């Protein structure tokens, strides 16, 4: 035990787009290094969402000692900040007895939270948000663009200026603090007592689309429609506002034909 604790620790981070092969590689490495896996997937964390999230089987979860999967209910509040705290605690615990730990998933913000830490912003009074929303409705989005360009030109260059929510978010910080929004993005990165090894998987785009399309058809065959119908009474929950579920909700509402929802 003493030797394990003295050895250099390694967090292997596996990321990449949907259906690129993260799960397969994760299980192979977990078996090779005999180490647990932490799931960095913002949908597989929910107990009720299985087929539509391509969640591993119970046997695979058990064999890889996977953490933070099947973790909470769709009724529960969950975000990257909560994930970071829980994942950090699990990593510390794993490294007590293991030299390696794997963090794997497609939710980039979750991975960033663990590897770099999240940006922290001050709470903004609701009246400032209301004022900016009123400005948007009265003067249009260009007024927000112009104000942001004046108050924070650096962020104006990189933000999606067609997204009013992001403009309002940035300007609310500017108005409330008198500082630029950018100044809150440049905090010190987390320091770790372990080494991070990042593996980013890629695949030809057309090939990836073909795999995703086939995966959707397989999910339908496995019972995705039934799973989503079961969740229909909870369709307004934040956890269910996600691809694969919201389209089928629209089908049940009569907005989309099944073929349209699948495509």
Question: CATH number for the domain including 138?
Answer: 1.10.20.140
Look at residues 203, 232, 252 and tell me which one is the last residue of a structural domain.
203
Per-residue pLDDT for the chain (263 aa), expressed as one digit of tens each?
Answer: 446 666 899 999 999 999 999 999 999 999 999 999 999 999 999 999 999 999 999 999 999 999 999 999 999 999 999 999 999 999 999 999 999 999 999 999 999 999 999 888 899 999 999 999 999 999 999 999 999 999 999 999 998 898 898 899 999 999 999 999 998 886 667 899 999 999 999 999 999 999 999 999 999 999 999 999 999 999 999 999 999 999 999 999 999 999 999 98
Tokens 């948000």 — which residue?
Answer: 129
Same domain, yes or no: 131 and 82: no
Confirm whether 180 is domain-assigned.
yes
Same domain, yes or no: 136 and 194: no
Per the structure, the count of domains in the chain is 2
Same domain, yes or no: 155 and 198: no
Same domain, yes or no: 35 and 163: no
Confirm whether 233 is domain-assigned.
no
Tokens 């919201």 — which residue?
Answer: 246
Phi and psi at residue 50, to the nearest 5°: -120, -70
Same domain, yes or no: 8 and 130: no
Q: Give pLDDT, residue 139.
A: 96
Q: Give pLDDT, residue 98.
A: 96
C-alpha distances (whole Å) from 123 to each of 96, 109, 174, 182 are: 37, 20, 12, 16
Same domain, yes or no: 12 and 98: yes
Same domain, yes or no: 31 and 76: yes
Cβ atoms 15, 82 nearer than 8 A: no
Confirm whether 241 is domain-assigned.
no
The arrangement of strands across the sheet holding 10-15 comes to 37-39, 100-104, 10-15, 195-200
Same domain, yes or no: 152 and 199: no
Look at residues 136, 152, 184 and tell me which one is the last residue of a structural domain.
184
Closest CA to 104 of 29, 215, 214, 190: 29
Confirm whether 232 is domain-assigned.
no
Same domain, yes or no: 65 and 169: no
How many Å apart are CA 40 and CA 67, to the nearest integer? 9
Q: Give pLDDT, residue 3.
A: 60
Same domain, yes or no: 141 and 37: no
Confirm whether 230 is domain-assigned.
no
Confirm whether 238 is domain-assigned.
no
Range of the domain at 93: 2-117+189-203
| CATH code for the domain in which residue 59 is found | 3.40.50.300
Confirm whether 9 is domain-assigned.
yes
Same domain, yes or no: 69 and 133: no
Confirm whether 155 is domain-assigned.
yes
Cβ atoms 212, 18 nearer than 8 A: yes
Same domain, yes or no: 104 and 132: no
How many Å apart are CA 66 and CA 98, to the nearest integer? 14
């Amino acid at each position: 035990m003493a030797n394990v604790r003295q050895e250099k620790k390694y967090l292997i981070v596996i990321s990449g787009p949907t259906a690129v092969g993260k799960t397969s590689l994760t299980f192979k490495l977990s078996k090779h290094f005999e180490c647990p896996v932490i799931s960095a997937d913002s949908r597989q964390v929910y107990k009720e969402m299985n087929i539509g999230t391509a969640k591993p089987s119970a046997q695979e979860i058990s064999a890889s000692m996977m953490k933070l999967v099947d973790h909470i209910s769709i009724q529960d509040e969950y975000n990257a900040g909560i994930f970071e705290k829980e994942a950090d605690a699990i990593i510390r615990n794993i490294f007590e007895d293991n030299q390696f730990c794997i963090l794997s998933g497609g939710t980039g913000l979750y991975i960033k939270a663990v590897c770099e830490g999240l940006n922290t912003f001050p709470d903004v009074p609701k009246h400032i948000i209301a004022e900016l929303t009123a400005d948007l409705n009265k003067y249009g989005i260009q007024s927000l663009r112009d104000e942001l360009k004046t108050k924070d030109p650096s962020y104006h260059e990189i933000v999606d200026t067609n997204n009013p929510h992001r403009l309002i978010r940035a300007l609310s910080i500017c108005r409330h603090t008198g500082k630029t929004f950018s100044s809150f993005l440049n905090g010190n990165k987390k320091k770790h007592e372990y080494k991070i090894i990042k593996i980013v998987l890629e695949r030809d785009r057309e090939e990836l689309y073909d795999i995703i399309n086939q995966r959707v058809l397989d999910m339908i065959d496995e019972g995705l429609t039934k799973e989503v119908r079961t969740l229909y009474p909870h369709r307004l929950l934040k956890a269910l506002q996600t691809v694969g579920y919201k389209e089928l909700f629209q089908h049940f509402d009569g907005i989309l034909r099944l073929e349209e929802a699948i495509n």
